[in-house]
Chains A and B, each alone.
Chain A
């Protein structure tokens, strides 16, 4: 499983989000490669899912079109419970839970 954590610049918030996503996957006992990235770099990356803020997810959706990549909007990047809820949806969608 490869997941992108995306923020506007790819330097600050996306690193924080990456850490929260990794923790969430660990708690589900699933291995995932989480890469932090900025919004301009998204189209070039092959990933199963993209996590970002609800505002940025809208932009990403327009950029990617119908790519089949699962998109999840996270309001608070350090909120483990919020991130876990989205990771759980992703695992269900991938039949991994």
Chain B
């Protein structure tokens, strides 16, 4: 798996009606590229209903994901920045990174790097402030 997120899997949008719409939008590049089936989007949304908003890992950041399974064809990540935050069960979120994992280990190195990235709160704010995906890609290449 590649080091971080492909630029064509990144999007910037103005807003989303609710967290379900935001997650579906964030996952769209992976769906269109054949990494996931539509079921995976429903599973990610269902996971929040079951387990609560723990995918909000840091202020304004969420990592939607579900169990590896039939609905994931290829391990990958996609990213969405919302210019206006959307509510995720009491947490305002502006940066979404969708994780689609084909098995329970192939993405571990990437997640470790993501964990280090997220512990610096400034990194999240810098990505949110980006005006285009090229700028986001540059930050991730340097710091992720």
Interface residues of A (CB under 8 A from B): 7-13, 15-16, 18-20, 23, 39, 52-56, 75-80
Contacts and interface: CB of A to CB of B under 8 A. Distances in A.
B115 A55 contact: no
Given A15-B112, A19-B115, A19-B116, A9 B54 contact: no
Contacts of B68: 9, 11
Given A77-B57, A80-B119, A12 B50 contact: no
Contacts of A54: 52
Interface string B21-56: 000000000000000000000000001001111111
Contacts of B99: 11-12
B52 A20 contact: no
B78 to A, nearest CB: 14
A60 to B, nearest CB: 12
B5 interface: no
Contacts of B57: 13, 16, 76-78
A13 B57 CA distance: 8
Contact of B65 (A11, A19, A53, A80): A11
